[in-house]
């Protein structure tokens, strides 16, 4: 049964809006009132900023992708929920990384969540293409999805780097996020 795409968009907007907003709750209000009291919040704030950009990228891409979608089916609803599941773990890994600065395991799991999001987005794309056909607008819009694939490879490299130097991993996360800002022609 083919379903309208309106509610999938509305539900995804709702979940992504909540994810992007509840992260800010981890910026615990300091009890003191001096400038010093804000210092421990700087890494938490930077983690928030990075994750805000990542969730923003996913919302942006979701918006662009759904623009080319005509209808959805049950499998697409689940592929989309699968993506939302991994997105929903971003606040958790963001806070863990923010509280422990650049130590191995928090940076490692941040990368795991990023890579699973990348894979979940790819599954969603393939499910959408299968539903619309190989010659559809959506299939053309994705093309070979070079940027998506290279991002997943870079996340994998960053995850491995956590054994060497977690700072390098975070630099890779920031670079991948940055690459998605460059508008596609």
Applying CB under 8 A, the residues found at the interface with a second copy are 1, 3-4, 7-11, 13-22, 24-27, 29-35, 37-38, 49, 52, 56, 59-60, 63-64, 66-67, 74-75, 77-78, 81, 84-85, 88-89, 91-92, 95-96, 99-100, 103-106, 109, 181, 183
CB closer to a second copy out of 137 and 153: 137
CB closer to a second copy out of 105 and 143: 105
CA angle (104 as vertex; 29, 17 as ends), nearest 5: 45
CB closer to a second copy out of 30 and 153: 30
Minimum distance of a second copy from residue 3's CB (angstroms):
6
Helix (H, G, I), strand (E, B) or coil at 52: helix
Minimum distance of a second copy from residue 139's CB (angstroms):
16
Written as one string, the DSSP assignment of 83-130 is HHHHHHTHHHHHHHHHHTTT-HHHHHHHHHHHHHHHHHHHHHHHHHHH
CB closer to a second copy out of 36 and 134: 36
Minimum distance of a second copy from residue 6's CB (angstroms):
8
Minimum distance of a second copy from residue 161's CB (angstroms):
17
Exposure b/e, 60-85, CB count within 10 A at least 16 = b: ebbeebbeebeebeeebeebbebbbe
Minimum distance of a second copy from residue 175's CB (angstroms):
18
Q: List, as own/partner pairs, every contact residues 148-155 make where C-beta atoms lie below 8 angstroms and the sequence separation is at least 24, other chains included.
A: 148/118, 148/121, 148/122, 149/122, 151/118, 151/176, 151/179, 151/180, 152/115, 152/118, 152/119, 152/122, 155/111, 155/114, 155/115, 155/118
CB closer to a second copy out of 4 and 40: 4
């Amino acid at each position: 049964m083919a379903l309208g795409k309106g509610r999938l968009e509305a539900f995804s907007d709702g979940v992504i809006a909540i994810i992007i907003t509840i992260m800010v709750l981890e910026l615990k209000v300091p009890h003191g009132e001096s400038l010093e009291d804000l210092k421990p919040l700087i890494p938490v704030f930077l983690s928030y900023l990075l994750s805000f950009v990542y969730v923003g990228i996913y919302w942006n891409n979701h918006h662009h992708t759904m623009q080319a979608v005509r209808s959805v089916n049950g499998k697409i609803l689940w592929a989309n929920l699968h993506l939302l599941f991994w997105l929903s773990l971003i606040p958790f890994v963001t806070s863990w990384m923010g509280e422990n600065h650049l130590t191995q395991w928090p940076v490692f799991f941040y990368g795991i969540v990023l890579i699973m999001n990348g894979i979940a987005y790819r599954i969603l794309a393939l499910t959408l293409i299968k539903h619309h056909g190989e010659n559809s607008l959506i299939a053309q819009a994705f093309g070979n999805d070079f940027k998506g694939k290279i991002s997943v490879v870079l996340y994998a490299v960053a995850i491995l780097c956590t054994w060497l130097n977690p700072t390098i991993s975070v630099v890779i996360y920031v670079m991948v996020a940055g690459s998605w800002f460059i508008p596609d022609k």
